[in-house]
Amino acid sequence: NAGVTQTPKFQVLKTGQSMTLQCAQDMNHEYMSWYRQDPGMGLRLIHYSVGAGITDQGEVPNGYNVSRSTTEDFPLRLLSAAPSQTSVYFCASSYHLRGEKLFFGSGTQLSVL
Amino acid sequence: SQQGEEDPQALSIQEGENATMNCSYKTSINNLQWYRQNSGRGLVHLILIRSNEREKHSGRLRVTLDTSKKSSSLLITASRAADTASYFCATDAELGGSRLTFGEGTQLTVNP
């Protein structure tokens, strides 16, 4: 049982490049989400999904896209990277929609030059 | 906007001492959760307390919730060097939709 797996662990991009951060969970969780963590800002919710085919925006969605074609996978796409997207990104999942504890991946450290 | 705010931002204590961290929030909640993050790692869930509960225990952890003051505290008793980490509170707001809102965290350092 791997839990929540994120890849890559580290990534350096140039401004304007695109990339996809991968997230997979093997716990059959309905709810999956992406957070970014910046110094002094805590964790801020980017996008979330309550099941396959259903996604919604969080607090800071601009510049990011998501899709949920399967229960297991929830990739985060940066369409045109900007230096302001330099951050640590965490994927998290839980069994159900509301109020459940979150299981976090180990994070992706992204630097945009 | 941050729903939960932790206090203090940083705390340094000696092994064996107790550590208390506080969290204040702004709106009515369904539950409040505490998470721990070791340096360079993801967050790990510690404890969840529901809005109709006042206190919960888990091992050396004790969490209290005062909904009238919109605040919670996390007490770690008999701290160990291995407790060194950042601690975050997260709130599930009644009107918050499908999301947990995290505070900025308290950095706890336990000196051997």
Closest residue on chain A to B34 (Cα):
A101
Q: Least CB-CB distance to A101: which of B30, B45, B105? A: B45
**pLDDT at residue number A42:** 84
Phi, psi of A101 (to 5 degrees): -70, 145
- Who contacts B77 (Cβ-Cβ below 8 Å, separation ≥6)? B18, B60, B61, B62
Q: What is the rounded distance in angstroms from the CA atom of residue B66 to the CA atom of residue B52?
A: 10
Radius of gyration of chain A (CA): 13
The average confidence (pLDDT) of chain B is: 92
Strand, coil or helix: A6: strand
Question: What pLDDT does B5 receive?
Answer: 83
Greatest CA separation for chain A:
38
Interface contact B101-A31, CB threshold 8 A: no
Which of A42, A50, A98 lies nearest to residue B102, judging by beta carbons?
A42
Which of A33-37, B44-48, B73-77, B92-96 has the weakest average pLDDT?
A: B92-96
CA gap B107, B112 in Å, rounded: 16
Q: pLDDT tens across A53-68, in order?
A: 999 999 899 999 999 9
Question: Which residue of chain B is at minimal alpha-carbon distance from A98?
Answer: B98
CB B76 within 8 A of CB B85: no
Nearest C-alpha in B relative to A60: B1
d(CA B49, CA B91) in angstroms, rounded, equals: 10
CB–CB of A34/A93 below 8 Å? no
* A101 contact residues in B (CB cutoff 8 A): 33, 45, 48
What does residue A85 show for φ and ψ, rounded to 5 degrees?
-95, 0
Determine the average pLDDT of the residues in A5-9: 97
CB contacts of B98 in chain A (<8 Å) are 31, 48, 50, 56, 97-98
Model confidence at B1: pLDDT above 60:
no
End-to-end, the C-alpha distance of chain B in Å comes to: 37
Query: For B33-73, what is each residue's pLDDT tens digit?
Result: 999 999 989 999 999 999 999 999 999 999 999 999 999 99
A34 inside 8 A of chain B by CB: no
